[in-house]
């Protein structure tokens, strides 16, 4: 089983005039990192900034693909190619859940709902 850490808080520059200059940074919904099932998240790796998802039945090697950068040629376009849609995150944010276990029956649906970004 693997765990993914998802960013849920905006960056300081998201609401500023500088937002356009920081387009390749990790943003809300992006998968920040992937860790093994036994990983213990730190106190800063939880709400209000992050939610961790334990993906039951997903091996670490498969989950590591969610850490890929979005590139165009040799240039990095976005820090992450995959993101969790906000509509999936909102119920957990509202419920104040920092760690969510996605069981086998739901894990394929969760993965299928990941957003794969495309280069402009």
Q: How far is CA 110 from CA 42, 101, 105, 120, in A?
A: 24, 11, 10, 25
pTM for the model:
0.87
Whole-number percent of the chain with pLDDT over 90: 66
Q: Read off the pLDDT band of 79 (50, 70, 90).
A: confident
**Could you state, in order of their start, the residue ranges of all structural domains in the chain?**
2-114
Quote the pLDDT of residue 119.
Answer: 75
- In 3-state terms the chain splits into helix, strand, coil percentages (rounded to 5) of 25, 30, 45
Where residue 22 falls among pLDDT bands split at 50, 70, 90? low
Of residues 117 and 18, more confidently modeled: 117
């Amino acid at each position: 089983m693997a765990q993914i850490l998802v960013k849920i808080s905006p960056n300081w520059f998201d609401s500023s005039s500088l937002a356009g200059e920081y387009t390749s940074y990790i943003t809300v919904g992006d998968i920040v990192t992937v860790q093994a099932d036994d990983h213990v998240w730190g106190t800063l790796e939880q709400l209000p900034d992050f939610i961790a998802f334990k993906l039951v039945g997903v091996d670490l090697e498969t989950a590591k693909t969610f850490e890929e950068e979005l590139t165009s040629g040799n240039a990095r376009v976005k820090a992450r190619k995959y993101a969790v849609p906000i509509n999936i995150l909102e119920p957990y944010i509202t419920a104040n859940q920092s760690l969510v276990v996605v069981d086998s029956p739901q894990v394929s649906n969760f993965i299928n709902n990941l957003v794969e970004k495309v280069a402009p």
